Structure 1
Amino acid sequence: MDVEQLLAAMTPDVYDRLTYACETGKWPEGAALSQEQRNSCMQAVMLYQSKHNVNPEHMSVAAGGEIAFKSKSELKRQFQGDQSDIVRVKADSLID
């Protein structure tokens, strides 16, 4: 299978499974990857990102194959901007 066939066959679900495998060293079902499998998964993830990643995060491959880096301040702004789903609770309010 050549690169273009591989990318055409990869769905977002397959990409997510490969990303999980690269990050943890295990398949989502729990089976461990060999080093060769992990290397192959990493290559597939980077190829997929180079074609489809239009919103790259810190240290990822952006669409077009360029490596994208975000500074610490950019990451702080990104994560501080949308905190509407975070619930803050005081520890003493949990004690009855």
Structure 2
Amino acid sequence: MDVEQLLSAMTPDVYDRLLYACETGRWPEGSVLSQEQKDSCMQAVMLYQSKHNVDPQHMSVAAGGEIAFKSKAELKKQFSAEQEDIVRVKVAEN
């Protein structure tokens, strides 16, 4: 299977499973990945990101294959904007 066939066959669900496996070293079902599986998953994730990642996070592969870096200021701005959606609840102390 060549790269284009792999990318056209990879669904967002498959990508999410591979990404989870790369991040945790385990399949979502819990079994541990071998080193060969880790390497293959990482390659597939990076290829998928290079085609589909239009909103890259800090240090990831963006669409087009460019490695995207966000500065500390950009990340703070992004996270502070996202926190507006968080509801804060003050817990009463006994």
TM-score by length of 1: 0.92
Letter in 1 for 2:35: Q
Matched residues, number: 94
Q: What is the deviation of 1:49?
A: 0.3
Q: What is the deviation of 1:83?
A: 1.9
Distance in 2, Cα, partners of 1:32 & 1:53 = 27
The corresponding residue for 1:60 is 60
Q: What is the deviation of 1:40?
A: 0.3
RMSD: 1.1
The corresponding residue for 1:40 is 40
Distance in 2, Cα, partners of 1:22 & 1:30 = 13
In structure 1, runs of 5+ residues without a counterpart are none
Identity of aligned residues (%): 80
Distance in 2, Cα, partners of 1:87 & 1:32 = 37
Q: What is the deviation of 1:90?
A: 2.3
The corresponding residue for 2:73 is 73
TM-score by length of 2: 0.94
Distance in 1, Cα, partners of 2:3 & 2:27 = 22
Q: What is the deviation of 1:85?
A: 2.7
In structure 2, runs of 5+ residues without a counterpart are none
